[in-house]
Amino acid sequence: MSKLVIATRKSRLALWQAEHVKERLEALHAGLQVELLPLSTRGDEVLDRSLEKVGGKGLFVKELENAIAAGRADLAVHSMKDVPADLPPGFVLAAITSREDPRDAFVSSRYESFDAMPPGAVVGTSSLRRAAQISERYPSFEIKLLRGNVETRLAKLDRGEYHAIVLAVAGLVRLGLQQRIRSRLGIDQSLPAPGQGALGIECLAERDDVQERLRLLADPDTAACVRAERAVSRALGGSCTIPLAAYAVMEAGTLKLEALVASPDGRRILRAQSQGKDAEAVGAAAARALKEQGAEAILALLK
């Protein structure tokens, strides 16, 4: 195998991520040629509605998976926070790379922090998870839908449509836009989405040749943390309609996980912690703890 084709979304961030994987693969495997196949996805095209109303975050990966299934591409590079908890039959996450900063970023042209903003300030986000955690601390703020790629979101902020917006630190750093970050929100302020900051590489389960090429790109600690986080999501329904957060770290061989489920308005937020050696078990334990506190009643209201 002397050539690989990477399916990728067309946004500048997605292309950066795919190019990053391309460069690493070509550096690791002498003589390997890697090409990009940029594709438009339904998630990129529908920008006037929240994701949960148009089919969920799987809209960002379906067209890429179709290209792989059809033989037009060998693999796809995803932001792990955009990957549904369950992959379609026949697909596998062959590698999860080392994580960039997983935190959320406070971005504003006028204010240094949430605390500096007046009551009634408009905050832009497309994430129910972010909206719930902001509303818990700042119930007077107006949370307004914000869709589009990173540049589009920043342009809307700059036009004055929002007092502030919240974006992933990782995306801004990867695009060289870290100067737009006014502050990085602490894990205690805004618990990240499962997989935030990590890249995942998907291919067909039957493609052992592709998986062998990808093996050296995998980061075992990041992969274990992300598997634990995704296990929480899977146990609670795995949908972006859920205001759910989960973040794990590896300390001396032990996974330590924090997770939460919230009502969209932030009036009720349930939190749980778990730890252990096995990623799936750690995630499942946190999900059970959330269910014991009443998570299923919150989730039922969202259906």
Q: How many CA atoms lie within 13 A of 93 on its CB side?
A: 25
CA distance 26 to 108: 38
Specify whether 82 is catalytic: yes
The 8 Å CB, 24+ separation contacts for 263-266 are 263/132, 263/298, 263/301, 264/128, 264/131, 264/132, 264/135, 264/302, 265/132, 265/135, 266/131, 266/132, 266/133, 266/134, 266/135, 266/136, 266/137, 266/139
State the catalytic residue, choosing from 44, 48, 74, 82.
82
Known catalytic residues are 82
